[in-house]
Structure 1
Amino acid sequence: MKAMILAAGRGKRMMPLTQSMPKPMLKVATKPLIEHHINNLKAAGITDIVINLAWQGDKIKSYFKNGAGFGVNIEYSQEVEGGLETAGGIIQALPLLGETFIVINGDVYTDYDVSALTQLHLNSGEAHIVLVENPAHNPDGDFALSHLAPESQKYTFSGISRYHADFFNGLSEGVRALGPILREKLTQHCISTELYIGQWDDIGTPERLAQLNERISNTL
């Protein structure tokens, strides 16, 4: 099974840290954030990885190269300047990904065990998304655990998911966000969900990055 790490975003909220550095290359516990994802994927037995690139993507490519130095095989999906958004990036990379694949946002930090996702069975056109408890910056959440759950009981999308390639059938290439697609497919009962209670941080601002590094430092 292959995995894709989404790393093409501009990271405007992280300025000035992302002025000349892509957000997934910002350091958490002395390592680039994206390196933690690569290590976690490798530990789960997933060594074929696709990374999409746009803003300052050359910094990612020059650091990881083909992945051999990290015990994995990395392919890159180069996007147009400005990027293609989340779904657009996945759709462009589909020829590199195979029938089913895992996707991880490059700007989150988590100890979620992705090997659990490799055990799932997905039928054609299905997806599975991992939700987490709502952080302070997203108190209302994104999605309910099921279509039967109360509309008020929503959780936050972790940025971790697994897809059957046919989930994206009929969607043309180009700039396209993932959120609206997930909302529509949830109403069509094409998506299963789980709630993860564990380490998860969205590295959305310099303050959150500093707080995460401080917490990690205090536990060492």
Structure 2
Amino acid sequence: MKAMLFEAGLGTRLKPFTENHPKALAPVNGKPLLQRNIEYLKAYGFKEIVINVFHFADQIIDFLNANDNFGMTIHISDERPEVLETGGGLVNAKDYFTEDFLVMNVDILTDLNLSDFIVSHQENNAMVSLAVTNRDSSRKLLFNTENHLKGWRNLNTNEEILANDTANGLKELAFSGIHIIKPSIFKQIHFEGKFSIMKVYMELMKTETIIGFDHSGGILIDVGRPSSVLEAEEIFK
């Protein structure tokens, strides 16, 4: 299985670091997020990774070259001159994926067992599997008793998107920024340019199996703010 690391974003929450660097190179105890997640994927047997770049792209490329790609096969999906968000970024890199593949945000640090996640995805024959946890978040995904995705809710605005007319009995879980996707999804994406992959999921949940994999109780840190870097440094040495 190949993997893709989303790292093209501007990382505005990590200013002032991201005024001169990409968020992927933000250090946690001296080791950049990008390196930590490459090593995380490598520990689970991944050998080939696609990395999308936009913000300070040359710094990412230089860092990888200086470290011989950490012994991995790494492809660069260049999004300059316009960042394409998660959906557009996936479509831009689609030619790299002919089998199920894993995607994760580079600013996520976690102890999620990827082997268990992959087995769950395969056993459920899901179009998409989403890693989720029961934690505080202003935006929640909604799942039925079989852990099938059935909606989305913004807790601040009360905006909802539902697969059917009711949200009764649906449980709220927060997305962890890690997914496994069948490449056949690309045949069903009709959006172009810059768009969120969640827009696609909100359409496909009506007709396709999108499964939630709950890893609540484990470690998950969104290293998106300077304060969360300090939190991560307490755990990831």
Name the residue aligned to 2:51.
Answer: 51
In 1, the alpha carbon distance for the partners of 2:184 and 2:50 equals 18
Report the TM-score, using the length of structure 1 for normalisation. 0.87
Q: Report the secondary structure of 2:93's partner residue.
A: helix
Deviation by residue 1:148-200 (Cα, 9 ceiling, x = unmatched) = 98466211111111111111324344101112222222232421111012110
Aligned to 1:142: 141
Percent identity of paired positions between Structure 1 and Structure 2: 29
Q: What is the TM-score when the length of structure 2 is the normalising length?
A: 0.81
Q: Which runs of 5+ in 1 are unaligned?
A: none
Distance of 1:150 and 1:30 partners within structure 2: 47
Task: Give the whole-Å Cα distance in 2 for the aligned partners of 1:35 and 1:143.
Answer: 33
Greater alpha carbon shift after TM alignment, 140-149 vs 190-199: 140-149
Return the letter of the residue paired with 1:191: I
CA distance in 1, matches of 2:209, 2:169: 18
CA shift for structure 1 position 123: 8.9
Structure 1, residues 34-69: CA drift from partner, whole Å, max 9, x if none?
211111111111110000000011111111129745
Amino acid at match of 2:174: T
Unaligned residue ranges in structure 2 (runs of 5+): 151-165
Q: 2:201 aligns with which of 182, 202, 205?
A: 182
Q: Deviations over 1:9-49 (max 9, x none)?
A: 01112111100111121012321112111111111111100
Deviates more, 1:66-75 or 1:103-112: 66-75
Would the aligned equivalents of 1:91 and 1:168 in 2 still touch at CA under 8 Å? yes
Matched, 1:206 2:207: no
RMSD: 2.5
Counterpart residue number, 2:115: 115
Distance 1:74 1:140, change over 3 A: closer
Asked if residue 62 in structure 1 is aligned to residue 70 in structure 2, the reply is: no
Q: State which of 175, 180, 184 in structure 2 corresponds to 1:162.
A: 180
CA contact (8 A) 1:33 1:106 kept: yes
Q: Which whole-Å CA distance do the structure 2 matches of 1:83 and 1:113 have between them?
A: 30
| Cα distance change, pair 66–74 in 1 and its aligned pair in 2 (3 A) | farther
- Judge conservation of contact 2:128–2:211 (CA < 8 Å) in 1: yes
CA distance in 2, matches of 1:32, 1:168: 31
Q: Kindly tell me the number of residue pairs found equivalent between the two proteins.
A: 215
Task: Specify the alignment match of 1:39 in structure 2.
Answer: 39
Asked if the contact 1:122–1:164 (Cα under 8 Å) also holds between the matched residues in 2, the reply is no
CA distance in 2, matches of 1:154, 1:63: 39
